[in-house]
Structure 1
Amino acid sequence: MNRRTFTLSLLALSASAAVVGLSGCGFELRRAPNLAFKSVQLAGFAANSPLAAELAKALEDAGVSVVESTAAAAAQQNVPASGAASSPRILSTHVVLQALSDTREQAVASITAFSQVRDLSLRTRFRFQLTRADGTLLILPTELLLTNDLPYNEKDALAKIDESAAMHRAMQTDIVQQVMRRLAVVRPEQLATP
C-alpha cells in the first residue's frame, strides 16, 4: 500500500468516525418544521412587508401553500367557494395567520455628557394570532419582541444606518424562525372539526 492510498484511507475512516460521532450525540441539521396544515392565508400585513415576504418563503419551504384567501384555498382543493369557510376539508387543512402589529422602532438608549447620542436601541415587534378558516383561535394573540443596542457615532452616521438595517433584518429572520416554531406546535387534532 503506497503512502497516498494509506492517507486517503485514513481520511475516509476519520470522516466516517466523525459522522457516527455526530449522529450519536443527537446532532441534526436544522430543517423546515413539519406543519399540520396545508395552506395558510397571511392577513393584516402591509402590502410591502418584508416580514410577510420572509414568512411566506419559510412557509413554502415547509411545504405549505400561501394563499390570498380561504376561497383560494378552497379552489385548490376543489371545494365550492360558497361553503369554503365551513367545509370540513378546508377547516382541517387551512389556517389564517393574522398580523396584529408589525413594527420596527429605533430609540436613543444613552447619551454622552455633551448630549450626543452614544447608543441606539433597535426593536422589532411582531404580534400575531392563528385561527382556523371558521375563526376558531388556535394560537392566542402572541407578541414577539427583539431588542438590540447599537453603538452610535455621528462621524459614522451613514455606516450606522446600514448597520441598523442589517440588525433589523437579522431580528426579522429570528422572528420568522420563532413564528415557525410556534406554528409547528399546532396538532392535526386541533384542526379537525368538532
Structure 2
Amino acid sequence: MQRRHFLSLLGAPAGAAALATLGGCGFELRQGYAMAFRTLQLTGFTANSPLATELARALEASGVQVTESTLQAVRAASSVMVPSSHIELNALTDKRETLVSAKTAFGQVRTITARTTLRFQVKRSDGSILIPASDVVLARDLSYNERDALAKQDESAALNRALQNDIVGQVMRRLAAIRPDQLVAPAEPALPRSSVSAASGATR
C-alpha cells in the first residue's frame, strides 16, 4: 500500500466529519510534530484500518514518510542499509466496538458504549524494542432510542471517529517524545575482565 493510498482510504466526507469532532475528545489540530525519525512503517493493523489511515495522515503532516515495507525505507534513504532514522509501529490490537451498556426494565437499549482499543509497540530499524507494548483504550457512552435508531447510528459513527482521532493524538505525542539517541539500540554492556577469564577457564 503506497502512502497516497493510505490517505485516500479516509475520503473527503469522512475526513471532514472527523475534523468536526476532534474538539469533543480533546484532540487539538496542529501543523505537525517534530519527529526524530524520517520514515515509519505501520504493521499489524486490520485491513483498511481507519486508525492506520489517520495515523499515516498525521505522520506525513509532521514530515515523516510512511513506508509500506522496510525495503521501501531503504530505497527512500538511497542506501543498502536500513537507516537508524526508520522505525516500525506495530499494532498488536486494533479494535473498535459498540456495546450495550444499559437497558430498561423491558429490555430496551438505553445506553451504548463506543470503545476503541489500540495496543502497540515501536521497534527500531534493527528490530529491537524502542517502546514496549502500550495500551490506549478510550470509551464514551451514548444514549440510545430505538425510535431514532438511524440518527443514533450516525452519532455513534461520529463518536467513534472522535475516539480514533484522540488516540492518534496520544500516539503522536508518544512518538514525538522519542529522542534521536534512542533510535540506536544501546550497546550490550561489556563483561568484567574477571568474568571473561572465568568463562574461558570453564571451557578448557
TM-score (norm 1): 0.78
Tell me, in whole angstroms, the C-alpha distance in 1 between the residues paired with 2:163 and 2:109: 22
Tell me, in whole angstroms, the C-alpha distance in 2 between the residues paired with 1:94 and 1:101: 22
Question: 1:187 is matched with which residue?
Answer: 179
1:54-133 matches, within 5 Å, as: 54-80=54-80, 84-85=81-82, 90=83, 92-133=84-125
2:45 is matched by which residue type in structure 1? F
Q: How large is the Cα RMSD of the aligned pairs?
A: 1.3
Tell me, in whole angstroms, the C-alpha distance in 1 between the residues paired with 2:174 and 2:31: 15
1:37 is matched by which residue type in structure 2? F
1:163-182 matches, within 5 Å, as: 163-182=155-174
Tell me, in whole angstroms, the C-alpha distance in 2 between the residues paired with 1:78 and 1:38: 13
1:55 is matched by which residue type in structure 2? L
The answer to whether the Cα contact below 8 Å between 2:115 and 2:140 also exists between their aligned partners in 1 is: yes
Tell me, in whole angstroms, the C-alpha distance in 2 between the residues paired with 1:73 and 1:104: 30
Tell me, in whole angstroms, the C-alpha distance in 2 between the residues paired with 1:76 and 1:183: 20
Hey, which bits of structure 1, 4+ residues long, moved more than 2 A?
Answer: none
TM-score (norm 2): 0.74
The one of 118, 133, 143 equivalent to 1:141 is 133
Aligned length: 158
Name the SS of the counterpart of 1:33 in structure 2: coil
Question: 1:21 is matched with which residue?
Answer: none
The answer to whether the Cα contact below 8 Å between 2:31 and 2:61 also exists between their aligned partners in 1 is: no
Name the SS of the counterpart of 1:109 in structure 2: strand
| Identity value in percent | 54
Give unpaired runs (5+ residues) of structure 1: 1-28
Q: Deviations over 1:89-131 (max 9, x none)?
A: x1x2000000111111111111111111110011011111000
The one of 135, 144, 149 equivalent to 1:152 is 144
The alpha-carbon deviation at position 30 of structure 1 amounts to 3.9
Question: 1:36 is matched with which residue?
Answer: 36
The alpha-carbon deviation at position 60 of structure 1 amounts to 0.3
The alpha-carbon deviation at position 192 of structure 1 amounts to 2.9
Give unpaired runs (5+ residues) of structure 2: 1-28, 188-204
2:134 is matched by which residue type in structure 1? T
Tell me, in whole angstroms, the C-alpha distance in 2 between the residues paired with 1:185 and 1:149: 31
Name the SS of the counterpart of 2:133 in structure 1: strand
The alpha-carbon deviation at position 46 of structure 1 amounts to 2.2
Tell me, in whole angstroms, the C-alpha distance in 2 between the residues paired with 1:78 and 1:31: 28
Name the SS of the counterpart of 1:36 in structure 2: coil
Tell me, in whole angstroms, the C-alpha distance in 2 between the residues paired with 1:33 and 1:69: 23
Name the SS of the counterpart of 2:149 in structure 1: helix
